Amino acid sequence: MSAQYSTPAPRSPTILSLAQHLRQVERERPGGVADDLSPLMNQLAFAAKVLAREINRAALAAAAPPQSVQGGTNSTGDDQTRLDVYANQVVLDAFHRSTRLAGLVSEEMDELVVLSEGDRARMILCIDPIDGSSNTEINGSLGTIFGFYRRERTGPGDLTAELIEGRAPLVAAGYVFYGSGTLLVYSQGEGVRSFLLDRELGEFMMCHPDIRCPEEGDSFAANTGRLYEWHPGLQRYIHHISQRDPATRRPYSLRYSGALVADFHRCLLRGGVYFYPSDRGHAEGKLRLFYESAPLAFLVEQAGGKASDGRSPILPPRARSIHQRSSLVIGSAREVELIEKFVAEAEPKTASAWTI
């Protein structure tokens, strides 16, 4: 008698690449954001691999790597390195033939670039190709931050106006963290996942299927060198978390590297708060809304955290230009709410000239 074998029940694979994950999401949610997003995420992942290779080469160049030479200034007046210029070109090359991407906004370009007016081009990509390029010389952390905004319709249109007026909402966001490994973290509205680049396979492999931001933390990341230029509410918050109180895990530890992606990544995984507020020299803040603050806000909210400008939520973005600046307070929900409380309590005693 022949042996009888039962068919094993299907199960989720334990090893999953980014490409496999994207196909899986397309099958589970056909006809939605996933259909537009999947090919674009694959193109972005390719750009990240190219940049990871170039960053490693730059780190190996011991004597005056070419990336250290200034390349001018970008759209918002910040100094550019040649790595900034190179990274921007890599992104343009990755997407220039895409039929799914209507336009691209980059920190390194003054204007939005129209890429396609076809009937499949529904997405607008807003991206900071390389955040922290000056860290290359010290072998510090770098990152890429991106957000995909979905248009209400395809075809010709004023893409800049659609973004600014909120007619193209943010539907997916993420970052690439170039550290000890190359990590891609992203969300398309149903949780946050991370993928680590396996250099032997040449693929981003899933390493965390559901990142959750702790509700509270005991660390903060901020450039306290500007403390006395901040809103009085923030100054009082710093004083509060510096006081010893074991019951509330105070004093908090300062964990600030100056690299936005690295500091945010720590907050996302371990809890705590990152903030980059406005000051007397930067009334609206320093970070860019569409390709820094808003994408990170999207991620942290998907992970159970919170993001605001100190008074009101970052999302949906409210802007007057594609390079709009903003303040950012982001991380564990309770920590962000505590900062908002200190700011609100200081408001009646604060002159209207103070911003956050």
Instruction: Note the CATH architecture for domain 18-210.
Output: 2-Layer Sandwich (3.30)
pLDDT in tens, 116-152: 999 999 999 999 999 998 888 788 899 999 999 999 9
Domain boundaries of the chain, sorted by first residue: 18-210, 219-346
Of the candidates 148, 132, 143, 203, the one whose C-alpha atom is nearest the C-alpha of residue 176 is: 143
Q: Residue 14: pLDDT band by 50, 70, 90 thresholds?
A: low
Residue 130 annotated as lining a ligand binding site: yes
Residue 263 annotated as lining a ligand binding site: no
Is 307 within 8 Å of 315 (Cβ atoms)? yes
pLDDT value of residue 136:
80
The 10 Å Cβ neighbour count of residue 227 is: 13
Residue 135 annotated as lining a ligand binding site: no
Instruction: Note the CATH architecture for domain 219-346.
Output: 3-Layer(aba) Sandwich (3.40)
Residue 245 annotated as lining a ligand binding site: no
Residue 215 annotated as lining a ligand binding site: no
Residue 107 annotated as lining a ligand binding site: yes
Beta bridge partners of 175: 145, 185
pLDDT in tens, 333-352: 999 999 999 999 998 765 54
Residue 286 annotated as lining a ligand binding site: yes
**Is the fold of 18-210 the same as that of 219-346?**
no
pLDDT of 69 higher than 50: no
| Percent of the chain topping pLDDT 90 | 79
Instruction: Quote the CA–CA distance of 163 and 166 in Å, as a whole number.
Output: 5
What sign for the dihedral angle of Cα 83, 84, 85, 86?
Answer: positive
Residue 84 annotated as lining a ligand binding site: no
> Which residues lie closer than 8 Å to 201 by C-beta, 6 or more apart?
17
Please tell me the pTM assigned to this model: 0.91
Instruction: Give the CA dihedral 195, 198, 203, 209, nearest 10 degrees.
Output: -20
> Which residues lie closer than 8 Å to 188 by C-beta, 6 or more apart?
25, 33, 34, 37, 171, 172
| Percent of the chain topping pLDDT 70 | 88
Residue 345 annotated as lining a ligand binding site: no
pLDDT in tens, 145-175: 999 999 999 999 999 999 999 999 999 999 9
